[in-house]
Amino acid sequence: MRDFVFHTPSTLAEALTLLETYGDAARPMAGGTALVNFLKQGLLTTEHLVYLQRVPGLSDIRLESDGIHIGALARHRDVEISPILRQHAPLLADVYARVATVRIRNMATVGGGLAHADPAQDPPLGLIVLDARVRLVSSGGERTLAVGELSTDYYETVIQPAELLTEVIVPPQPPTARGVYLKFLPRTEDDYATVAVAALAELEDGACRDVRIALGAAGPTPIRATATEQLLTGQHASADLIRRAAQAAAEQVDPLSDFRGPADYKRDMAVVFTHRALERVLNGVPA
Ligand SMILES: Cc1cc2nc3c(=O)[nH]c(=O)nc-3n(C[C@H](O)[C@H](O)[C@H](O)COP(=O)(O)OP(=O)(O)OC[C@H]3O[C@@H](n4cnc5c(N)ncnc54)[C@H](O)[C@@H]3O)c2cc1C
């Protein structure tokens, strides 16, 4: 690993000033679970590490009028066990509970996870179907954008070098909506998914009023399966329609061949897992 200067800012303003001063030569560090591996393997280099863990006020989980605010330094485990999330967005608590092992969930943070942008990560799928937004802050101002707009490619996001992701804002899950998260993990518990799907649906008089589906490990970024959603919206979910809607997932994914399987196999598994998720949220079939 190359040498770097390790900065320990104690306010958000100080952290932002460091990032602005050093630009591309600096990197924020939160839990370090991804960043330290990348530095050790030489996949990343940096001259200045800006350690965020001493910045106060970034790890709360609060219910406000516009949604649940999750600070960027909240750890995956905090989300998993948060009474606020268990009550108001149980799907999200379940998704975070499925990340790797408790050892990793006790270190990895919500902000670090989203900024890492591995398309096989679990949390973005739950956040996308819940229509969550992120707040990005720099010394010059701030902006919010949908979680689905964050990733642009494998390990790439729209976050600028002088920006920090400070919080995620999650609309509460509608109480009548059914949600499910399915993750295909044929290897070990701390492996990333071979394919994963989050689905959230609301029915009205037996018809699909609102259906949202997001797929992971299925392309360079998390994928919102809009064609599948459109086939179902407003329709009564017959077995045949669910089968066709799941089949449409094959056209929407673009997986890589790797040690978890060839691309064609993963495309087929995306259809199988979308089908299972739809049966669960539309027909109440146990996963
Ligand atoms: C063995 C292993 C298995 C794993 N399996 C899974 C899995 O199955 N599913 C899953 O979802 N995750 C999994 N993870 C966790 C995931 O891949 C990341 O390691 C983790 O989410 C990163 O969080 P962190 O807080 O440690 O980020 P860090 O490692 O500190 O940082 C990651 C990146 O984000 C940047 N960054 C950090 N915080 C911010 C911020 N607030 N604003 C802007 N940029 C920031 C850093 O500069 C860096 O580029 C696994 C991790 C390990 C080590």
Instruction: State the Cα–Cα distance between residues 246 and 229, nearest whole angstrom.
Output: 10
5, 47 contact by CB (below 8 A): yes
Same structural domain, 94 and 10: no
Same structural domain, 46 and 142: no
Instruction: State the Cα–Cα distance between residues 263 and 267, nearest whole angstrom.
Output: 6
Range of the domain at 44: 5-51
Instruction: State the Cα–Cα distance between residues 209 and 189, nearest whole angstrom.
Output: 35
Instruction: State the Cα–Cα distance between residues 23 and 21, nearest whole angstrom.
Output: 6
Q: Is the CB of 151 under 6 A from ligand 1?
A: no
What pLDDT does residue 128 have?
98
Residues with Cβ within 8 Å of 37's Cβ and at least 6 positions away in sequence, in order, are none
Looking at the domain assignment, is residue 175 inside a domain?
Answer: no
Looking at the domain assignment, is residue 132 inside a domain?
Answer: yes
Residue ID of nearest Cα to ligand 1 atom 4: 100
Residue ID of nearest Cα to ligand 1 atom 36: 112
Q: List 69's β-bridge partners, or say none.
A: 62, 169
Same structural domain, 76 and 18: no
Atom of ligand 1 minimally distant from the CA of 122: 11
Element (H, E) at 164: strand 164-170
The domain tally of the chain equals: 3
Instruction: State the Cα–Cα distance between residues 250 and 269, nearest whole angstrom.
Output: 9
Same structural domain, 198 and 155: no
CA of residue 55 to ligand 1 center, whole Å: 18
Same structural domain, 146 and 205: no
CA of residue 117 to ligand 1 center, whole Å: 8
Residues with Cβ within 8 Å of 175's Cβ and at least 6 positions away in sequence, in order, are none
Same structural domain, 26 and 72: no
Looking at the domain assignment, is residue 240 inside a domain?
Answer: yes
173, 131 contact by CB (below 8 A): no
Domain of 106, CATH number, reads: 3.30.465.10
Domain of 261, CATH number, reads: 3.30.390.50
DSSP code for 218: S
Q: Is the CB of 222 under 6 A from ligand 1?
A: no
Same structural domain, 36 and 107: no
Instruction: Return per-residue pLDDT of the chain as tens, 287 residues.
Output: 789 999 999 999 999 999 999 999 999 999 999 999 999 999 999 999 999 999 999 999 999 999 999 999 999 999 999 999 999 999 999 999 999 999 999 999 999 999 999 999 999 999 999 999 999 999 999 999 999 999 999 999 999 999 999 999 999 999 999 999 999 998 888 889 999 999 999 999 889 999 999 999 999 999 999 999 999 999 999 999 999 999 999 999 999 999 999 999 999 999 999 999 999 999 887 65
Q: In what order do the strands lie in the sheet containing 48-51? A: 5-7, 48-51, 26-29
Domain of 25, CATH number, reads: 3.30.43.10
Same structural domain, 239 and 199: yes
Same structural domain, 67 and 160: yes
- Nearest residue to 48 via CA among 15, 13, 12: 15
Residues with Cβ within 8 Å of 103's Cβ and at least 6 positions away in sequence, in order, are none
Instruction: State the Cα–Cα distance between residues 281 and 286, nearest whole angstrom.
Output: 9
Looking at the domain assignment, is residue 56 inside a domain?
Answer: no
Tokens of 105: 């969930």
Looking at the domain assignment, is residue 243 inside a domain?
Answer: yes
196, 107 contact by CB (below 8 A): no
Looking at the domain assignment, is residue 29 inside a domain?
Answer: yes
Residue ID of nearest Cα to ligand 1 atom 27: 112
**Ligand 1 mutation target, pool 7, 35, 106, most atoms within 8 A of CB:** 35
Same structural domain, 164 and 189: no
Looking at the domain assignment, is residue 104 inside a domain?
Answer: yes
What pLDDT does residue 189 have?
80
Phi, psi of 226 (to 5 degrees): -65, -35
What pLDDT does residue 56 have?
97
Q: List 28's β-bridge partners, or say none.
A: 50
Looking at the domain assignment, is residue 9 inside a domain?
Answer: yes
Same structural domain, 152 and 199: no
Q: Is the CB of 67 under 6 A from ligand 1?
A: no
What pLDDT does residue 286 have?
62
Q: Is the CB of 190 under 6 A from ligand 1?
A: yes
Same structural domain, 46 and 114: no
